[in-house]
Amino acid sequence: MKKFYDIHFHALTLGHPNLLAFIQRMNWRLLLMTTPISAPIMGFLGKDKVVKNLLGMMENDLGNYFLILEYYLRQSSCIQGDVVTVSGNKYKKIVLTPLIMDFGFKNIMSDTFYKLPAQKPIVEQMTDLYEAITCYNMFDLEVVPRQGNAVNCEHVLVEKESKLFEIYPFISLNTSNYTLATIEKIMAECFGNYKPDISVLYGNMGTVKGFAGVKLYPPLGFDPWPQDIKEQEKVRFLYQYCCNKKIPVTTHCSDGGFAIVNEANVYTTPDKWESVLQEYPTLKLNLAHMGAQNKKNWLVFSQSDWQTKVLRLVNSYENVYTDFSCLAFADSYYKDLIALVNKQKLPHYTKQRILFGTDFMINLLWSPSYNQYLETFCNTKRLCDNEKDLFCSVNPERFLFN
């Protein structure tokens, strides 16, 4: 039986993000929750629940993070056991690809007394994730009612084969944070024996050899095509290594996100990736978020030039994909998506390069749960069964393992 893929997923605790970046991402919601006048208004509007929902999930250690997500998903009408039903299609298990984020940015300074940049070694996230995946594969979460509304959460031993998720993370690299020698070492440790084979990854799940790809995040300071010769040498090594081993790369490609550097939009624009692809045309690349631009010109006019450029690259390079993570919050989105695809010169080809993704847990800022985001996709009538199958199974499997 086929598998269901969430190609864009995050597993972060409150200890992982650089909080200066995180607070900036949350911006007005956190600010409004803390002011005497607006806090009651935010509570009345339900916005305080949005932040509590997100922070409540992130407060868990990663082992419980996956178990809680599974516990609630098993209550979804789309899921029975480890089988996901999407209209007329059935899938055994959900493949999650947690995208680690390299928050080790060395130049995030503040105007506070303790203004030295926080140190967030990527290895700590990696270790937490290994342990979390191992824990997840061993246990189910059992919720035992107590007096009143209280509950106890207990871990019950189970077989790995009975679990709903298969978890294959993407390692994150901001090449400007490391020497070339360090980058070479990291890639050798994580991908030295890499094969684009899901059975091999399943056996290595929860180990340093269990990575499925590389995550790049320009708004945190990663420049996909730097002008500096030494910096360009680093990215050239990375892209060639990924091409040689057919390692998939996902990059943030919208004007939102954890934007810390002034050059965030310059680094994130699809134009940067056009330069990369001209040199490395076989690179397997997912331009995430379809180049969404939520910031409006003069606060009024919507922008779509990034989306147009992303689709042009998707239609020009065989191994370039895009996902609609953190976009499909309502059924109407899928109507707009198909209308956009059908405007392309070769809509049948374009449909074969689009990937399902949630951007969980970041998407909790706009959606109450993973369940709702998934169920919106499963139940929409805007997509036919074949289109859903392409987006959530056929295309992501090709992206990861072809």
The dihedral built from the CA positions of residue 97, 325, 381 and 309, taken in this order, carries a sign that is negative
Reported as type and span, the H/E element at residue 251 is strand 249-251
pLDDT value of residue 147: 84
| Tens digit of each residue's pLDDT (9 = 90 or more) over 106-125 | 555 667 787 776 666 788 88
The domain containing residue 284 runs over which residues?
4-401
pLDDT value of residue 34: 46
Burial bucket for residue 262 (CB in 10 Å: 0-12, 13-18, 19+): exposed
Q: Is 155 helix (H, G, I), strand (E, B) or coil?
A: strand
- What percent of the chain shows pLDDT beyond 70? 87
Q: Which two tokens stand for residue 265?
A: 């939009």
Q: For residues 59-72, give the mean pLDDT.
A: 95
CA contacts within 13 A on the Cβ side of 263:
12
The C-alpha atoms of residue 90 and residue 2 are separated, in whole angstroms, by 7
Band of residue 38 on the pLDDT scale cut at 50, 70, 90: very low
Q: Which of 110-119, 175-184, 282-291, 361-370 has the lowest mean pLDDT?
A: 110-119
Q: For residues 231-241, give the mean pLDDT.
A: 99
| Tens digit of each residue's pLDDT (9 = 90 or more) over 79-100 | 999 999 999 999 999 999 999 9
Q: How many domains does the chain have?
A: 1
pLDDT value of residue 105: 55
| Tens digit of each residue's pLDDT (9 = 90 or more) over 349-398 | 999 999 999 999 999 999 999 999 999 999 999 999 999 999 999 999 99
CB atoms within 10 A of CB 260: 20
How far is CA 5 from its chain centroid? 12
Contact between 73 and 79 under an 8 Å Cβ cutoff? The reply is: yes
Main-chain dihedrals φ then ψ at residue 261, nearest 5 degrees: -95, 150
pLDDT value of residue 55: 87
CATH number at residue 212: 3.20.20.140
What is the β-pairing status of strands 285-287 and 170-172? unpaired
Burial bucket for residue 98 (CB in 10 Å: 0-12, 13-18, 19+): buried
How far is CA 312 from its chain centroid? 22
pTM across the whole model: 0.91
CA contacts within 13 A on the Cβ side of 69:
30
Reported as type and span, the H/E element at residue 124 is helix 122-138
Per residue in 226-240, is it b (16+ CB within 10 Å) or e — as a string?
Answer: beeeeeeebbbebbe
pLDDT at 32 over 90: no
pLDDT value of residue 297: 52
DSSP 8-state code for residue 143: E
Contact between 286 and 401 under an 8 Å Cβ cutoff? The reply is: no
Place of tokens 């109507």: 335
Q: Is 317 helix (H, G, I), strand (E, B) or coil?
A: coil
